[in-house]
Amino acid sequence: MTDPRTDRPRRGDGEPTARAIRLLIVDDQALVRMGFRMLLEAEPDIDVVAEAGNGADALLLAQELRPDVVLMDVRMPGLDGIATTSRLLDLSPESRVIVLTTFDLDEYAFGGLRAGASGFLVKDTRPAELLAAVRAVANGEAAISGRVTRRMLELFGGRLPASDGAAPALLASLTPRELEILTAIGEGLSNGEIAERFFVAESTVKTHVGRVLQKLALRDRVQAVIFAYGEGLVG
């Protein structure tokens, strides 16, 4: 386990940058961690607070440091990234996890999302996409495109378990429009695509999405997709 960084990123005037995203890197390969750190530390709004080389160390660091975002390799010896993600979110519910995979759309990535991750990336993703994903997830959004959502659910949707008995009451709390929005999210539509379908402004869709997530007690739209499939709204 590496020692956590306590220094904050700084502006050109030497003052600490406000509201920096606190980030934890988890990967069993030191060179991979180094590459991510070099890229991320160059950004003034991102603070790499620590690295972990295995799941057990990641849990200890997450509990101590409460990072905003965790980059999580799913294929690690011992405690893998899926199990680590699930336990980490119990210890640090405010953290958001992006799982890292070698291959696009593999079953490990989907397992990470089911464990509570807010998105996934392949390890060779372009730097701009990685930075955009970290910022999106830190902002409460999901780092997964509608196209990828649809494809993943085509491949793995039939394996989703139904949600618990509280789901009908939660669904009943939604307005008809919110139920339509939830169904559209389950289909993998982006906010822009939903706006076009219902002839409303994208800002209105964003408001509806926020209300749906709040009423259903869901972390983000990835969980909303899984919920919609589990309840048979789409399939």
CA–CA gap between residue 28 and residue 94 (Å, rounded): 24
Task: Classify 123 in phi/psi space as left (phi over 0), alpha (psi -120 to 50) or beta.
Answer: alpha
* 209: its two tokens: 């999405």
Confidence grade of residue 235 (pLDDT, cut at 50, 70, 90): low
Confidence grade of residue 105 (pLDDT, cut at 50, 70, 90): low
> In the predicted model, is pLDDT for residue 68 greater than 80?
yes
Domains of the chain: 21-144 (3.40.50.2300), 164-230 (1.10.10.10)
Confidence grade of residue 162 (pLDDT, cut at 50, 70, 90): low
* Helical ranges in 115-161 per DSSP H: 127-138, 146-156
> In the predicted model, is pLDDT for residue 144 greater than 50?
yes
Rounded to whole angstroms, what are the CA distances from 100 to 22, 104, 185, 219?
18, 10, 23, 19
> In the predicted model, is pLDDT for residue 228 greater than 80?
yes
Indicate yes or no: pTM above 0.75: no
* 149: its two tokens: 């959502």
Confidence grade of residue 226 (pLDDT, cut at 50, 70, 90): confident
Q: Say whether 4 sits in a helix, a strand or coil.
A: coil
φ, ψ for residue 93, nearest 5 deg:
-60, -25
pLDDT tens-place string over residues 18-56: 579 999 999 999 999 999 999 999 999 999 999 999 999
* 30: its two tokens: 């030191």
Tell which wins on pLDDT, 208 or 140.
208
Q: What average pLDDT does the structure give for the chain?
A: 84
Q: Which candidate, 146, 133, 118, 130, places its Cα nearest to that of 213?
A: 118
* Beta strand segments in 53-193, E: 69-73, 96-101, 119-122
